[in-house]
């Protein structure tokens, strides 16, 4: 008879879901602020190492990776919906260094923030927009339009 044994970390996963849901919501709403792992671990009553472990097991990423993803998603939304400068968006999303923000944005979304904004705006002026207006469709439409004009 084969018996499956869970590791202590796997057994602890259900207990983390509620705490991580609350914590990730807090991170998302405060991603423009300075966020540290020790501060977050105090919020959920664990050690920094325990929090890192829970993030990796439950969410498949590190705490800093999650925070960075939230900041970059927020930056993308601001680029799509506001006329704020890139420097202002970088600061609002928690980046102290403008050039670090541009590098991180390019690494995540495949182009620098200024080019992303131009592509999104160009796609929004297409006469027959695709029915789905999500960011990926907008960028694909803009890329097709750019290729057809070259």
pLDDT in tens, 65-92: 999 999 999 999 999 999 999 999 999 9
136's enclosing H/E stretch is helix 135-149
Same domain, 103 and 119: no
The answer to the question of residue 2 being in a domain is: no
In a domain, 54, yes or no: yes
Counted domains in the chain: 2
pLDDT of residue 4: 36
In a domain, 118, yes or no: yes
The answer to the question of residue 78 being in a domain is yes
The DSSP symbol for 46 reads S
CA gap 87, 121 in Å, rounded:
19
* 65 and 137 assigned to the same domain: no
Range of the domain at 150: 111-150
Give rounded-to-5 percent helix, strand, coil for the chain: 70, 0, 30
Beta-carbon contacts of 66 under 8 Å, excluding residues fewer than 6 positions away, are: 24, 27, 55, 59
pLDDT band at 115 (very low <50, low <70, confident <90, very high): very high
Q: Does a structural domain hold residue 1?
A: no
């Amino acid at each position: 008879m084969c018996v499956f044994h869970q590791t202590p970390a796997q057994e602890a996963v259900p207990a983390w879901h509620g705490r991580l849901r609350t914590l990730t919501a807090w991170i998302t709403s405060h991603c423009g602020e300075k966020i540290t792992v020790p501060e977050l671990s105090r919020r959920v009553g664990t050690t920094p190492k325990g929090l890192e472990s829970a993030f990796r097991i439950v969410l498949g990423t590190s705490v800093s990776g999650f925070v960075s993803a939230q900041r970059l998603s927020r930056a993308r939304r601001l680029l799509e919906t506001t006329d704020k400068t890139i420097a202002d968006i970088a600061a609002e999303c928690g980046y102290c260094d403008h050039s670090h923000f541009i590098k991180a944005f390019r690494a995540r979304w495949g182009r620098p923030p200024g080019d992303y904004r131009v592509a999104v705006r160009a796609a929004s002026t297409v006469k027959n927009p695709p029915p789905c207006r999500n960011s990926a469709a907008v960028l694909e439409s803009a890329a097709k339009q750019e290729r057809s004009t070259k």
